[in-house]
Chain A
C-alpha cells in the first residue's frame, strides 16, 4: 500500500469512474428541456438571440427611415459611434467575467484623455512622435487599473467601493490637470492618423475590430482566459487549483484600464480634444452592453461576441431614434426596458441550466 505512487493514489479506481460516467449520461438525459431553452442556453444560441434582436432593430430602421438607414454611410456612422464604448465593453467583459465590476471606466478615460493632451505632452509629442500621446493615455489607463486592481485584490476592498472611489478621484484629478478647460489637440499627425480610414473603413472601427478579435482570443483560447473564467466562477476552487487569484484579479483591472486608455485615445481623436467631461456615464453603457450580451454579473461566464452585439444593439437603437428625430429621453427609457428584458430572459435560461 505504501508503495503506491502519487499518481496511482490520486486516480479514482476504475469502477468509481464508470459510476460517475453513467450518472453523467443519465443526468444529461433527464435535462431534456424544451429544445428552445436548451438551444438558447447554448453559447451559439444565446448569441443568436442577440442577433435576432439586432435584426429586428435593423428592420425597424429600414421601415422607418428607408435608404437613410440602409446606406453604407449610416452603417459607418453607427460603427464609429459604437467603437469607443465597444472597446471599453470588451475590457469590462473580462472584469465582470472575473467576478468584479468597475464603475470608474469613464473617469479613467477622462483622466487619460486629459493627461495625453496637456501642453507638456503635446509639445513633447511634436518634438518626438505622436505616439507619445498614445503611450501616455495607455500608461495612465493601466496605472489607474493597477490602483484599482491592487486595492481590490490585495487590499480586499469590494470592487464597487474601490472603483467608486477611483471614479471620483480620477475625475477630480482630470479637472485639476486640465484646469477645467478643454484641451485642443495641436499635433496634426495624431488627428490625421486616427481620423482617417483604411480602405474606406474608419481607423476607429478597425481599432474596435482588433480589440474585439484580440479579446475573443484572449478569453477563449488562452490560459489567461481560462483562469479568468475559473476565478469568476469560484475563486476558492481556483485558488485551490493553484491559480494566484489575487494577482489575476489585479491583472484583469489593469487590462480594463488599458482598454480605457485605448478608448481615451479614440475619443481624443474623434473630438480632437481632451477634456475632464469626456467619458460621462460610460460605465453604465459598458455594463449594460456586457450584461445584455450574456456575461453573468456574478462572474464565471463571459462572451466577447455577446458584448459586441450588445454594444451594436444599443448604438443601432440610438441611430434609429436619431434618424426619426425622436427624444433621447424616450430612448433612455427604452434602454432601461431592454436591459431588464435581456436579464430576465437570461435568468430563466440559467435557472433551467443550473437546476440540479
Chain B
C-alpha cells in the first residue's frame, strides 16, 4: 500500500523540466543589454583638436582601478575609461574591477606594480587610504594619474585630474543667489543634500556653496548627507522634508542620488522649492526640460577617460599638444558650468545614464 502517487519516471521528468525552466529563466531574464542605445553617455562627440599625439606610438600597458560602481556616475567613469582605451590601439588596458574595500584596492595596485605596468590610472575609494600604495608605485617608476578623489600627498601622483568641487559649490551658490534676487524671496530657506561626507570633495562642495551664499548674505539652513546612491538619497531627502515645512532652494550635490531625492519629493507632494542638481545625469537633463528641476551643475564623468589619455601621453613621453609646455601638467581642474533650460542643448549630449 504505497502512498506515492508519482512514479520515479514522472519525478525525473518533472525534475528535468524544472531544470530546463530555470535555465531558460536564467538565460532569458538576466540579459541587460539594451538594443543599440546609440551614444553611451561617456563618449564625447565633440572631439578636440586631433594632433600627432593621437598617432600610434609605443604600446603602453595602463592599469585602471576605480571604486565599486554603485551609482551611475561611477559606472559612466568606468565605461568612459574603457571606451577611451579601446580607441587607441597602442594601449594594453588592464582594468581591476571596482571595489569599495580599501585593502582590496591596495592589493590591486600592488598587483599592477608586480606586473610592472607602464602607468596607473587610479580613482581611489578613499584618497588618503590609497596614498601610500600610490607612492610605492611612483617609487617603483610607474607614473600614477590620480582621478577625482585626491591623494593626501603630492608625491603620490604624477598628475591629478579632477572636477572643480569647490567651484561646483560656488556655481550652485551663485545661481541660488541669482534665483533669490530674481524672485525677490524674502528670508529664503536654503537646504543642501550632500554626498558622502567622509570624502574631502563633499566638504569642498559644501564650502563653495556656503562661501557663495555668504556673498549674498545667505546661509544654508538645513543640511543632510546621503551616499550618492538612490536609496540613501530618498531616505535623507525624506528626513529633510520632515525637518523643514517650507523650503525655497534645495541643492542636491549629485544627480544619481537625485533619483531618490526626487522620489522623496514626489512622495511627499512637495515642490514649493527650486531644485538644483549636480553632476549632470541624463535624468537631470530630462527634468530640466520638463520643468521639474531648475538647473544642474556639471561634474564630468569623463575625467577617467581623460586620465587614460594623460596616462598614455606620460607613458609615451609626450606632452599635451595644445600647450606650449613640453610635459603633461601636474594638476588639471575641469570646469563646473551651470546647465539650465537655456543652454541645455549644448550639454545634453554629455549626460550620463544613472
**Which A residues have a C-beta under 8 Å from some C-beta of B?**
68, 71, 73-74, 77-78, 80-81, 84, 178, 180-182, 184, 191, 195, 267, 270-273, 275-278, 280, 318-319, 321-323, 325-329
Query: Does the CB pair A180–B111 fall under 8 Å?
Result: no
Q: Give the complex CA separation of A176 and B127 in angstroms.
A: 21
Q: Which residues of A contact B183 (CB under 8 A)?
A: none
**Which B residues have a C-beta under 8 Å from some C-beta of A?**
68, 94-104, 106-108, 110-111, 113-115, 126-132, 152, 197-198, 200, 203, 225
User: Which of B107, B126, B131 contacts A277, CB < 8 Å?
Assistant: B126
Q: Which residues of A contact B128 (CB under 8 A)?
A: 182, 184, 271-273
Interface of B is mostly: helix
Q: A271-B129, A272-B131, A318-B104 are in contact. Are A184 and B110 (CB under 8 A)?
A: no
User: Which of A68, A180, A272 contacts B129, CB < 8 Å?
Assistant: A272
Q: Give the complex CA separation of A272 and B126 in angstroms.
A: 11
Query: Does the CB pair A80–B110 fall under 8 Å?
Result: yes
- Count A-B pairs with CB separation below 8 Å: 93
Query: Does the CB pair B198–A180 fall under 8 Å?
Result: yes
Q: Give the complex CA separation of A270 and B133 in angstroms.
A: 9
User: Which of B107, B131, B197 contacts A80, CB < 8 Å?
Assistant: B107
Q: Which residues of A contact B127 (CB under 8 A)?
A: 182
Q: Which residues of A contact B152 (CB under 8 A)?
A: 184
Q: Which residues of A contact B95 (CB under 8 A)?
A: 325
User: Which of A74, A276, A321, A329 contacts B114, CB < 8 Å?
Assistant: A74
Q: Given contacts A77-B110, A271-B106, A273-B102, could you give 13 more A-B pairs where the C-beta distance is less than 8 Å? A: A77-B107, A77-B111, A77-B114, A178-B198, A184-B152, A271-B126, A272-B132, A275-B129, A277-B102, A319-B107, A325-B95, A328-B68, A328-B99
List 27 A-B pairs, Cβ < 8 Å.
Answer: A73-B114, A77-B110, A77-B111, A81-B107, A178-B198, A180-B197, A180-B198, A181-B198, A181-B200, A182-B127, A182-B129, A182-B200, A271-B103, A271-B132, A272-B129, A273-B102, A275-B198, A277-B102, A277-B126, A277-B198, A280-B100, A280-B101, A319-B111, A321-B97, A325-B94, A326-B97, A328-B68
- Shortest beta-carbon distance, A101 to chain B, in Å? 22
Query: Does the CB pair B126–A328 fall under 8 Å?
Result: no
Q: A77-B110, A322-B111 are in contact. Are A191 and B97 (CB under 8 A)?
A: no
Query: Does the CB pair A191–B110 fall under 8 Å?
Result: no
Q: Give the complex CA separation of A322 and B115 in angstroms.
A: 12
Closest B-chain residue to A183, C-beta based?
B128
Closest A-chain residue to B136, C-beta based?
A195
Query: Does the CB pair B97–A328 fall under 8 Å?
Result: yes
Query: Does the CB pair B101–A322 fall under 8 Å?
Result: no
Query: Does the CB pair B104–A81 fall under 8 Å?
Result: yes
Query: Does the CB pair A84–B103 fall under 8 Å?
Result: yes
Q: Give the complex CA separation of A312 and B218 in angstroms.
A: 56
Q: Which residues of B contact A329 (CB under 8 A)?
A: 97
Q: Which residues of A contact B97 (CB under 8 A)?
A: 321-322, 325-329
Q: Give the complex CA separation of A275 and B95 in angstroms.
A: 26
- Shortest beta-carbon distance, A67 to chain B, in Å? 10
Q: Which residues of B contact A273 (CB under 8 A)?
A: 102, 126, 128-129
